[in-house]
């Protein structure tokens, strides 16, 4: 049990450090304008059109770092600090989200797999906490409940790991296009790459943290079974 808390605190600290680093990188590169003056909206629309995609809309969404691609209604949603900004950070984020749109248009397998898991993960997330809590309380009387909770949690862990290649590939597509289209140059490309790399680290930490927690619940289940 004590080992779990060491791991838990370690991942919590690592997550905080990675999130802080991402925030600092975004703030740093948000102050550096693109030489061509293109806004996040401009970059997104150009990347979509350069990839032959004309049925995806680029819209502004409230919040900070709330940028995402929605395959359901085919929209690239950019936060206001990205949509209207002509910074390097805005260009990198906008291109990354369009990378997901390109994945969708080309039927990228990991994205299709992640999309298929969304209903399962949504269901699991709604009841998982209560099932796991009840399972730990009733482990000796009704161990099957904790096992069910572990299966639910495992689906979210799987989702986290499938998300990794999806996000990394979107960044790779973004960086290749930014360079090829001349959006970034020798002095700005490294900054865009640094910003996207920092964002990728958050997904890695989240996936590893989820795996560590899953193993913890499995240990509780096996320990409870061994005492019966």
Residues annotated as part of the active site: 97
Q: Residue 70 carries which DSSP code?
A: E
What is the rounded distance in angstroms from the CA atom of residue 217 to the CA atom of residue 131?
12
Sign of CA dihedral 177, 204, 32, 193: negative
Q: What are the CA-CA distances from residue 145 to residues 119, 149, 222 (Å)?
A: 21, 6, 13
Say if strands 75-79 and 57-61 run parallel, antiparallel, or are unpaired. parallel
Vertex 210 angle, CA 208 and 211, to 5°: 65
């Amino acid at each position: 049990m004590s080992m779990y808390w060491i791991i838990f605190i370690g991942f919590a600290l690592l997550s905080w450090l990675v999130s802080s680093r991402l925030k600092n990188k975004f703030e740093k590169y948000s102050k550096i304008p693109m030489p061509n003056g293109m806004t996040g909206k401009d970059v997104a629309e150009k990347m979509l059109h350069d990839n032959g995609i004309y049925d995806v809309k680029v819209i502004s969404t409230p919040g900070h770092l709330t940028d995402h691609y929605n395959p359901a209604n085919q929209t690239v949603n950019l936060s206001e600090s990205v949509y209207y900004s002509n910074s390097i950070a805005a260009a990198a984020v906008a291109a990354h989200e369009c990378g997901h749109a390109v994945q969708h248009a080309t039927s990228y397998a990991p994205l299709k797999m992640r999309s298929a898991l969304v209903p399962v993960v949504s269901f699991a997330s709604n009841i998982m906490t209560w099932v796991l809590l009840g399972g730990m309380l009733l482990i000796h009387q009704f161990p099957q409940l904790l096992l069910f909770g572990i299966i639910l949690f495992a689906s979210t862990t799987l989702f986290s790991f499938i998300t990794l290649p999806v996000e990394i590939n979107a960044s790779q597509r973004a960086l290749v296009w930014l360079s090829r289209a001349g959006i970034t140059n020798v002095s700005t490309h490294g900054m865009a790459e640094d910003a996207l790399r920092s964002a990728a680290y958050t997904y890695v930490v989240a996936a590893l943290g989820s795996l560590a927690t899953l193993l913890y619940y499995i240990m509780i289940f096996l320990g409870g079974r061994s005492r019966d």
